[in-house]
């Protein structure tokens, strides 16, 4: 499970993928309610939720033509504590620079 374009400063709020023809077998999509999971994490493990809100993670896409980087937390709450954004993509996560515990 991931969100798209976590390496972008302002990723699109919605992405639509369109396939005109597909003869492949399988390819089912799975969707995940990350907002619900984050709210459950806030209730059950507030220290984990706080870490996901505060710890900045590097995200990066690079090839021969582009090197796009962005650093941000996974969960972004507003000043009232309401979650306004969740961004995470294991394929775009760069080397984590986490403090020693």
Closest by CA position to 77, among listed 39, 40, 47: 39
- The model's confidence at residue 101, banded by pLDDT at 50, 70 and 90, is low
What is the biggest distance separating any 2 CA atoms in the chain, rounded to whole angstroms? Answer: 51
What are the structure tokens assigned to 101, written together? 């515990």
What phi, psi does 34 have (nearest 5°)?
-70, -30
- The percentage of residues in the chain with a pLDDT greater than 90, rounded to a whole number, is 36
pLDDT in tens, 40-82: 999 999 999 999 999 998 988 889 999 988 899 999 999 999 9
- CA–CA separation, 92 vs 68, rounded Å? 10
* pLDDT of 21 over the 90 cut: no
- CA–CA separation, 36 vs 42, rounded Å? 10
What phi, psi does 62 have (nearest 5°)?
-145, 145
Q: Could you state, in order of their start, the residue ranges of all structural domains in the chain?
A: 34-86
């Amino acid at each position: 499970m991931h969100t798209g374009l976590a390496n972008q400063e302002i990723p699109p709020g919605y992405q639509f993928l369109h396939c005109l023809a597909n003869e492949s077998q399988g390819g089912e999509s799975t969707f995940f309610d990350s907002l619900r999971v984050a709210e459950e994490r806030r209730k059950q493990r507030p220290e984990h939720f706080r870490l996901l809100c505060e710890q900045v993670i590097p995200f990066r896409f690079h090839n021969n033509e582009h090197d796009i980087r962005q650093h941000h937390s996974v969960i972004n709450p507003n000043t009232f504590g309401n979650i306004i954004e969740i961004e995470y993509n294991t394929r775009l996560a760069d080397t984590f620079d986490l403090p020693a515990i």
